[in-house]
Amino acid sequence: MATLPPETKIPDQKKVGMVSLGCPKALVDSERILTRLRADGYAMSPDYAGADVVLVNTCGFLDSAKEESLEAIGEAIAENGRVIVTGCMGDEADVIRARFPQVLAITGAHQYEDVVEAVHEAAPPAQGPFMDLIPQADVKLTPRHYSYLKISEGCNHSCAFCIIPDLRGTLASRRIDAVLREAEKLVAAGTKELLVISQDTSAYGVDTRHEEREWHGHIVRAHMTDLARELGQLRTPEGDVPWTRLHYVYPYPHVDAVIPLMAEGLLTPYLDIPFQHASPKVLKAMKRPANEAKVLDRLKKWREIAPDITVRSSFVVGFPGETEDDFRYLLDWLEEAQLDRVGGFRFEPVEGAAANALPDPVPEAVKEERYARLMEVTERISAAKLQAKIGRRLPVIIDEVGEPDEDGDIGATGRSQADAPEIDGQVYLRNVPADLKPGDFVSALVEDADAHDLFGVIDR
């Protein structure tokens, strides 16, 4: 084995800390930034104290998210002092500098080159001939067994309550061969679950006119259906079909084409569709795309094709002009739609959003009352759906394995195909084998349920 000359001293690596806020798309940005920095010779610091510089990847979607970002910047400055800000709130540099003039640099969302350059300036990398020979792997901020796969940036819609196009620009789809190459690489490296994300997954490739590329000897289009079909061909090193979830899917007609892939077991039977409301009047005021779709009829057809399909969504209550009749329409729609997973939000004005100028704002007390009623209805639906799973055997992916208790029993936490990480429910398993590890697929017998989670045992 070759050794270094005794006089050779490998320089200490500069260390970068990272605070990543906001949505999974921002998390992917953080992973890409850290991957670039590690390739440049930086090490990652798990805490403020050990970092030569701290990056704060901010969220600027809602005023509450902006305040959380500002608090994170303040904490990083107090604990470390050398802070670079990036992300969606980077477009409000004046606001950040007015509160924290000592911030070293501020860049906008997905401006990777600018962030790396700022880090280089603040803490020049300790590179040399031996450091440059060290092979580097991509940095992951998620557990090894699941990964986010970002297929595009930006959005072409102009929803009245949203400023994402202002923060992240118009739709910019990645080349489909690049997306598939990344997915293939992730699965080969141990990813068991791919979470496909973008601002509008259904619109993937619209900006490139669904350009065609060669992939493994055949032609594929930059189109959601082609992408889903090709992802369904991936296999883990053990020969399993990895779970593949589609997030942020608008209900355009071509979404129907991916449902048979779910029925065939090639795509996880799960769709995350941000409906936001059901009242036609409110949807029109929101300027929501695809709101003319006959969603209830399509939900019925999807369930006929793939009976185990899970549909999750989110809804906004208290949008300007929302009447009690509009809200009751939403509740009645939810009773009929029987969505599996639902998140609720109270409308919150965002600086720069068109909705701020709309008449008839809903009083805060009414928003709270409607939010409580929304949650009551959706929790009741969720509880009934989960109760119906008692006695069934479901595939589960393991996220965490606990330590033995006083009796030697080991518990584990996992998720069914109906549960995306961080946003949906969990499956709690008792008395699992000692050799179980995160990322393992198991068959679980469901023994109990509450409004959000399942409880059971591995079906041996």
For residue 204, give the amino acid letter: Y
Judge whether 281 and 326 are in contact, CB under 8 Å: yes
| pLDDT reading at 2 higher than 60 | no
DSSP 429-451: EES--TT--TT-EEEEEEEEE-S
Question: Distance between CA 305 and CA 325 in Å, rounded?
Answer: 33
Question: Distance between CA 110 and CA 96 in Å, rounded?
Answer: 18
Q: Which band of pLDDT confidence, cut at 50, 70 and 90, is reported for residue 33?
A: confident
Give the Cβ contact number of residue 141 at 10 Å: 14
| pLDDT reading at 97 higher than 50 | yes
| pLDDT reading at 10 higher than 60 | no
Mean predicted lDDT score pLDDT of the chain? 89
Segment 255-297, tens digit of pLDDT: 999 999 999 999 999 999 999 999 999 999 998 865 545 889 9
Q: Looking at residues 220-247, what average pLDDT do you find?
A: 95
CA nearest 23: which of 458, 423, 319, 457? 423
Start-to-end Cα distance in the chain: 47
Q: Is 255 helix (H, G, I), strand (E, B) or coil?
A: helix
| pLDDT reading at 111 higher than 90 | no
Question: Distance between CA 89 and CA 77 in Å, rounded?
Answer: 17
230 annotated ligand binder: no
Judge whether 341 and 375 are in contact, CB under 8 Å: no
Q: Which band of pLDDT confidence, cut at 50, 70 and 90, is reported for residue 319?
A: very high
CA nearest 355: which of 316, 329, 323? 316
Q: Which band of pLDDT confidence, cut at 50, 70 and 90, is reported for residue 134?
A: very low
| pLDDT reading at 454 higher than 90 | yes
Residue 129's Cβ-count burial label (10 Å; 0-12, 13-18, 19+) is exposed
Q: Is 339 helix (H, G, I), strand (E, B) or coil?
A: coil
Q: Looking at residues 201-228, what average pLDDT do you find?
A: 96
Question: Distance between CA 153 and CA 201 in Å, rounded?
Answer: 10
Taken as a whole, the chain contains a residue count of: 460
Cα-Cα-Cα-Cα torsion 25, 31, 37, 41, nearest 10 degrees, comes to: 180
* 3-state helix/strand/coil string of 284-337: HHHCCCCCCCCHHHHHHHHHHHCCCCEEEEEEEECCCCCCHHHHHHHHHHHHHH
Question: Distance between CA 4 and CA 24 in Å, rounded?
Answer: 42
Q: What 8-state DSSP symbol labels residue 276?
A: B
Q: Are strands 412-416 and 441-449 parallel, antiparallel or unpaired?
A: unpaired
Q: Which band of pLDDT confidence, cut at 50, 70 and 90, is reported for residue 205?
A: very high
Lowest-confidence segment of 128-132, 219-223, 384-388 by average pLDDT: 128-132
Q: What 8-state DSSP symbol labels residue 360?
A: S
Lowest-confidence segment of 43-47, 66-70, 165-169, 420-424 by average pLDDT: 165-169
Q: Which residues contact 390 (CB under 8 A, 6 or more apart)?
A: 446, 447, 448, 449
Higher pLDDT, 282 or 2: 282
* Domains of the chain with bracketed CATH: 15-133 (3.40.50.12160), 146-387 (3.80.30.20), 393-458 (2.40.50.140)
H-type alpha helices, 309-429? 324-337, 364-387
Q: Looking at residues 238-246, what average pLDDT do you find?
A: 94
CA nearest 311: which of 418, 409, 226? 418
Q: What 8-state DSSP symbol labels residue 160?
A: T
Lowest-confidence segment of 101-115, 177-191, 244-258 by average pLDDT: 101-115
218 annotated ligand binder: no
290 annotated ligand binder: no
Q: Which band of pLDDT confidence, cut at 50, 70 and 90, is reported for residue 11?
A: low
Per-residue pLDDT, 339: 97
Per-residue pLDDT, 356: 82
Q: Looking at residues 23-45, what average pLDDT do you find?
A: 85
Q: How far is CA 245 from the centre of its chain?
A: 10
Segment 147-196, tens digit of pLDDT: 999 999 888 887 887 777 777 788 999 999 999 999 999 999 999 999 99
* Measured CA distances, 276 to 46, 118, 171 (Å): 37, 38, 20
Q: Looking at residues 54-75, what average pLDDT do you find?
A: 89
Q: What percent of the chain has pLDDT over 90?
A: 68
Lowest-confidence segment of 64-68, 260-264, 311-315 by average pLDDT: 64-68
CA nearest 191: which of 226, 234, 228? 234
144 annotated ligand binder: no
CA nearest 428: which of 386, 380, 373? 386
Per-residue pLDDT, 388: 97
398 annotated ligand binder: no
| C-alpha gyration radius of the chain | 24
| pLDDT reading at 135 higher than 70 | no
159 annotated ligand binder: yes
* Measured CA distances, 194 to 199, 312, 354 (Å): 16, 17, 34
Question: Distance between CA 47 and CA 347 in Å, rounded?
Answer: 35
> Position of tokens 């020969």?
239
Q: How far is CA 246 from the centre of its chain?
A: 10
Q: Looking at residues 128-157, what average pLDDT do you find?
A: 71
Per-residue pLDDT, 127: 55
Lowest-confidence segment of 26-35, 124-133, 321-330, 410-419 by average pLDDT: 124-133
DSSP H or E stretch at residue 131: none
